[in-house]
Amino acid sequence: MPRRTYDHYCAVGRALDVVGDRWSLLLVRELSSGPRRYSDLFADLPGISTDILAARLKDLERDGILTRTRSGPRAGTAVYELTSAGTALRPVLDALSIWGTEQLGERRPTDAVRAHWFALPLSRAVADRLSAGTVTIHVGDTAFHVIVGPDGVSHHDGPATAATHELRLDLETAGAVARGAPLPVSW
């Protein structure tokens, strides 16, 4: 299928040519904390079809946003990871997350939720309280860690090996922080 384009000589138009399709930025969100297998991406993107997932991954790989490698027994498992161009989209995700905070509202009964989807707002909340350090955050059974340093804020899968702080939240509290409530901790 030929590539769709807005045909606008505009930086925003060109950016949307690459990441403007439905699911593309959510795939970047999923990969922003580390490499993922196809099956993990499928499981953490409720509502996406396997055909659309495969197509978006292929498009993002073609456009240099992610790479695909093979691992596992006889290199049979595809693992996807952001390239430097994909990682450079982090400020875009942060800006959308900030803007989306006002759109979030209360969780509807039909809303899917994954604990790691709160990594962006929780990372901002940690950075507001901590000038530098590494914080392991547990939301239910999910753990990720946030690094705050001179280069900004990043989040990564799993607990940190040497965290300066540890935070345990339930899903409801993580959602409240995502909606703008203060982080329930002081350092």
Question: Which of 40, 70, 87 is the last residue in one of the domains?
Answer: 87
Same domain for 80 and 101? no
Same domain for 113 and 155? yes
Same domain for 56 and 113? no
Same domain for 118 and 60? no
Tell me which residue range forms the domain holding 97.
93-178
Q: Rounded distance, CA 91 to CA 29, Å?
A: 11
Torsion over CA: 79, 81, 83, 86 (sign):
positive
CA-angle at 154, arms to 159 and 45, nearest 5°: 75
pLDDT at 1: 60
Taking the chain (187 residues) in consecutive chunks of 10 residues, what is each chunk's mean pLDDT? 83 92 97 96 97 97 96 82 97 94 90 95 94 96 96 95 96 93 86
Q: Rounded distance, CA 132 to CA 163, Å?
A: 11
Same domain for 22 and 82? yes
Q: Does 114 map to a domain?
A: yes
Q: Does 6 map to a domain?
A: no
pLDDT at 73: 72
Same domain for 98 and 80? no
Same domain for 83 and 97? no
SS3 70: strand
Same domain for 102 and 49? no
Q: What is the number of structural domains in the chain?
A: 2
End-to-end C-alpha distance for the chain, whole angstroms: 53
Q: Which amino acid is at 6?
A: Y
CATH number of the domain enclosing 39? 1.10.10.10
Q: Does 3 map to a domain?
A: no
Question: Which of 58, 87, 116 is the last residue in one of the domains?
Answer: 87
pLDDT at 2: 66
Question: Which of 70, 87, 104 is the last residue in one of the domains?
Answer: 87
Cβ atoms < 10 Å from Cβ of 168: 12
